[in-house]
Every structure is written in structure tokens, then in C-alpha cells.
Amino acid sequence: MDNKQIFEMADELKAAKEHKKDLEAQVKEVNAWIDELDKALSDAMAESELHELCEAPADQGQKALPDRDKDFPEEGDRLGGHCLFAGGV
């Protein structure tokens, strides 16, 4: 193998390593995007579930929360409403 081929291989190796570095940076960006979306989805699902718990009528087969104004009038006033989760998460 002559020097020309060796230098060509070295250049190709350098280009491959630079390409790998670029791809790793892209993977890092995509992973950050995935983490952000995962958190947003999780937060939205939790908020939706809390809203359903607070708004669900007792006759839908779901465990109803107590009517805080009727069952715990002092707590209803202190907490600002019927549901402990009314203020959001």
C-alpha cells in the first residue's frame, strides 16, 4: 500500500469520525425533544385525570369526591372550592 492510499484512508477515517460526531449531536437534540414531549404529555394526562376526578358525576361508576361545601363546609371555604385539585398542579 502506498502513501497516497494511506492518506486517503486517513482522510476517510477523519470524515467518518466527524460525521459520527454530528450524528451524536443530532441524537442528543432528539433525545432532549423526546424528554420535553414526554414531560408535556405526562403533565397533560395528569391534569386531564385530575379534571376528570373533580368533574366526574357519581353515577358514572367512578369514585366521586365528597362535596366539600356540604360535607366539609369549612374546608370548602378554606380550599376555595369543591375539589382539592381545582387550582391545578
SS3 string, the chain, reads CCHHHHHHHHHHHHHHHHHHHHHHHHHHHHHHHHHHHHHHHHHHHHHHHHHHHHHCCHHHCCCCCCCHHHHCHHHHHHHCCCCCCCCCC
In a domain, 85, yes or no: no
Structure confidence at residue 88 (pLDDT):
45
| pLDDT tens per residue, range 25-42 | 999 999 999 999 999 999
In a domain, 84, yes or no: no
Higher-pLDDT residue of 82 and 34 is 34
Q: Report, in angstroms and rounded to the nearest whole number, the Rg of the chain calculated over CA atoms.
A: 29
In a domain, 89, yes or no: no
Question: What is the domain extent for residue 24?
Answer: 3-79
d(CA 50, CA 53): 5
Structure confidence at residue 15 (pLDDT):
98
With 0.75 as the threshold, say if the pTM is over it. no
In a domain, 87, yes or no: no
Give the CA diameter of the chain. Answer: 92
In a domain, 55, yes or no: yes
Domain total in the chain: 1
Structure confidence at residue 89 (pLDDT):
45
In a domain, 73, yes or no: yes
In a domain, 38, yes or no: yes
Least confident of 13-22, 51-60, 63-72: 63-72
